[in-house]
């Protein structure tokens, strides 16, 4: 079954600690995304990547870092600089938009089942 796998499902962070959330996809998608979801809020974009070894900041990138060394994998690190890390983190992937200027976001995004991060 093709899909997106996020792990772990629950994660706890201590003060001053960096933690890394895993996201793996076997859909052969070029684009991958990380979103943050807070209670009663929509999804806010943290980082996205259109291709291996390249990624761009989204709306709320401060305190987060990513890497894209493989097409299938897009891990997110929540650093100690992120002062309010408690949230539900969602990873998504999509094929690229067409060449005719339709943009990255014009394709359906497929989501994993999230990682819930809490502070100890």
Partner 1 sequence: GENVEQHPSTLSVQEGDSAVIKCTYSDSASNYFPWYKQELGKGPQLIIDIRSNVGEKKDQRIAVTLNKTAKHFSLHITETQPEDSAVYFCAASGGGGADGLTFGKGTHLIIQP
User: Site residues (CB under 8 A) for partner 1?
Assistant: 4, 6, 31, 33, 40-45, 48, 50, 56, 58-59, 90, 92, 97, 101-114
User: What is the H or E stretch that residue 40 is in?
Assistant: none
Return the number of the residue (13 or 116) whose C-beta is nearest partner 1. 116
Minimum distance from residue 100 beta carbon to partner 1 (Å): 11
Minimum distance from residue 112 beta carbon to partner 1 (Å): 5
Return the number of the residue (61 or 77) whose C-beta is nearest partner 1. 61
Minimum distance from residue 15 beta carbon to partner 1 (Å): 26
**Is residue 69 a contact partner of residue 17, using CB atoms and an 8 Å limit?**
no
> β-pairing, 115-119 with 10-13?
parallel
Radius of gyration of the chain measured on its C-alpha atoms: 14
Return the number of the residue (17 or 86) whose C-beta is nearest partner 1. 86
Place of tokens 């684009």: 31
Minimum distance from residue 34 beta carbon to partner 1 (Å): 10
User: What is the H or E stretch that residue 25 is in?
Assistant: strand 19-25
Return the number of the residue (16 or 108) whose C-beta is nearest partner 1. 108
Q: How far is CA 42 from CA 14, 57, 84, in A?
A: 26, 18, 17
């Amino acid at each position: 079954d093709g899909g997106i796998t996020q792990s772990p499902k629950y994660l706890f962070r201590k003060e001053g600690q960096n933690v890394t959330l895993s996201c793996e996809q076997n859909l052969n998608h070029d684009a991958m995304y990380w979103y943050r979801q807070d209670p009663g809020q929509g999804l806010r974009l943290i980082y996205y990547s259109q291709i291996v070894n390249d990624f761009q900041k989204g709306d709320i990138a401060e305190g987060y870092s990513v890497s894209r060394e493989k097409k299938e994998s897009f891990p997110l690190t929540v650093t100690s600089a992120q002062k309010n890390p408690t949230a539900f983190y969602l990873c998504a992937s999509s094929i690229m938009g067409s060449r005719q200027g339709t943009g990255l976001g014009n394709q359906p995004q497929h989501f994993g089942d999230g990682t819930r991060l809490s502070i100890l």
